[in-house]
Each structure stands twice: as C-alpha cells, then as structure tokens.
Amino acid sequence: MNGIPPWSEAIPPVSMFVECDGARHELRWEAGRLVPSAHPDVDAEHALAALGGEAPVCLRLRANWEAYASEPALITLGRRPGEAGLGFALDVNPTTLVPVTRRPTTVGERREALVALLSLPAPFIDRLVLGAMASAVDRWSDADFRERHGLRIGAALAARATPALRRLGSSLAAADETVVVHCEPSEDARVRARRSVRGLEVTAALPVAWLVRVWGPGFSEPSGQFVLDTRGREVDVVEWVGDAAVGWEGVRRRGALELDGEGATVVRFV
C-alpha cells in the first residue's frame, strides 16, 4: 500500500430499485462494487444457477457489471466535463442479460450486456466508467495494455482535463489571447505554459490516476484552483511561477479540501 486511499472512497454510494423475482430489490453501488442488497449470499445463488436454476435479475446485472468493470471502451463512452447525464434509460430486459455462470462471449451478448448496464441511472453509469478508469490505472504499467489502449486513454484524459487546464492558462493570457492546451499521460504530473505564435500554450503531463483521484470525485477545480493530485482531503494545486520571457512552471501548493458555508468544496491552504 502506498498510503493513497482507494479511489472509491471519494465517491458517495448510490442505490436504485429493479424488478427482481416479482419484487422491487435494491441495487446499491458502494466502495467500487455493485451490491445486490436483497441477495446476501451471492455465492450460493450462483451455485444454484450453475446447477440450472434461473439467476435473479439483480445477480445477472451484477455479473454483467463485473464482466465489464474493466472495459476501456467505457472510458470513451463516459461523461465529459460539464456534460449532462447520459444513458439509454431503457427498461432492463432480463432475457437479454447474460447468465451469471459465464462471461459474454459473442459481440451480440457483449452489446446486450452493455446496453443493459448503460440503461441504469446516470450515477451508476458514472461509477461504472470510473471503475473502468481505475482498472486502466492499475494496468497502466503493463506495456501490452498501453500499446492497445494507451492512445484511447490518453485522449480521454486530455478531454477531461483540457477545460480546466484552459481556464488555468487563461489566468496568464491576455484578454483576447487564444489558449492552446496539450495534455498527455505521464508518470509524473507537470504543467507548464509559454507564449508562442499560436497563443498561450499550456502543456500538461498528468498521471492516468488523475482521472479517478481528481476528475472522478469532482475535485478538478475547487475554488478555481487546478488540482494535480489528491490524498483523501489533502490536495496539490498548481500555482504559476515564472514570466512571459522564460515561460511559466506550475508548482505544487498543498492544501486541504473543505466545505464552505454554502456547501461548495474549496481549498484551504495551511
């Protein structure tokens, strides 16, 4: 353990109800997992299903969730900054859910399983996507994974960070100056800026973990500060050092996240 709390600690639980076995059952997301509250002994019910019994809808949804919890395509599908809720909002059709006893194998099964998951309420979709991001963080050190999915994830990281980086750059730019942002994944976070013929250019290298530790919980810009990293309530924000002649380097300033009197998250500096 490196002392950094799990990403899911910063994400509040959510719950919903589904029609299951003729009743309304609660499905709850907490601590990174989908929990079928009405089915306390999941293993026993799975064993029954393996013997030929029909698995309940809750368990089938959970099995489909687990099957796709690390799917990189979800990172492309998920929400971008400022985007309203998304999802198919279709009624879950139990007959299209893949049985709990095996993973989806065909393209058709994969589609049906994803349509079912992406028909859940938007807060569940957001958490499904965050789970896929967290899985990508775990696998980022694997060269084969980066070879296959690195460009997708790099673009997705840039898309999530760019609006906040543009606002960060705007603090240095003249009123009508264009702010150009370049962002790529890196082991170490670094943000720089310089003035060029294209305008004010901000170049950021961010760890993929920024997606789950900063963007996912909604900590990208508390009180207008760009957050590079979090450790629980502790955050590192960027402060510009330098000038137009030599360019600017974003240095870390440590602070703590707190709620202000109106319930908004702000950074307090020690």
Cβ burial 3-24 (10 Å sphere, 16+ → b, else e): eeeebbebbeebeeebebeeee
The least CB distance from residue 189 to another protein, in Å, is: 20
Q: Where are the alpha helices (DSSP H) in the chain?
A: 42-50, 57-68, 73-77, 107-117, 122-139, 143-170, 210
Q: Would you count residue 76 as binding another protein (CB under 8 A)?
A: yes
Distance of CA 173 to the CA centre of its chain: 30
Return the range that interacts with another protein (CB under 8 A); candidates 7-15, 71-79, 235-243, 256-264. 71-79
Closer residue to another protein (CB): 96 or 265: 96
The least CB distance from residue 163 to another protein, in Å, is: 9
Among 36, 56, 72, 222, binds another protein (CB under 8 A): 72
Among 50, 73, 244, 264, binds another protein (CB under 8 A): 73
Residue pair 101/49 in contact (Cβ under 8 Å)? The answer is: yes
Among 34, 69, 114, 130, binds another protein (CB under 8 A): 114
The least CB distance from residue 221 to another protein, in Å, is: 17
The least CB distance from residue 86 to another protein, in Å, is: 5
Residue 125 has which token pair?
């979709």
Return the range that interacts with another protein (CB under 8 A); candidates 7-15, 56-64, 110-118, 260-268. 110-118
Quickly count: other Cβ atoms within 10 Å of residue 35's Cβ.
18
Site for another protein in 116-175 (CB under 8 A): 118, 144, 147-149, 151-152, 154-156, 158-159
Count of chain residues binding another protein (CB under 8 A): 28
Residue pair 53/110 in contact (Cβ under 8 Å)? The answer is: no
Closer residue to another protein (CB): 80 or 231: 80
Site for another protein in 230-259 (CB under 8 A): none
Q: Would you count residue 115 as binding another protein (CB under 8 A)?
A: yes
Cβ burial 73-95 (10 Å sphere, 16+ → b, else e): ebbebbbeeeeeeebeeeebebe
Residue 80 has which token pair?
């971008």
DSSP letter string over 15-61? EEEEEETTEEEEEEEETTEEEETT-S-HHHHHHHHHTTPPPPHHHHH
Closer residue to another protein (CB): 144 or 188: 144
Q: Would you count residue 268 as binding another protein (CB under 8 A)?
A: no
The mark string for 78-97 relative to another protein (x by CB under 8 A, - otherwise) is --x-xx--xxx-x-------
C-alpha to C-alpha distance for 161 and 43, rounded to whole angstroms: 40
Closer residue to another protein (CB): 113 or 214: 113
Q: What are phi and psi of 180, to 5 degrees?
A: -110, 130
Beta-bridge partner residues of 230: 235
Give the footprint of another protein on this chain (CB under 8 A): 72-73, 76-77, 80, 82-83, 86-88, 90, 107, 110-111, 114-115, 118, 144, 147-149, 151-152, 154-156, 158-159
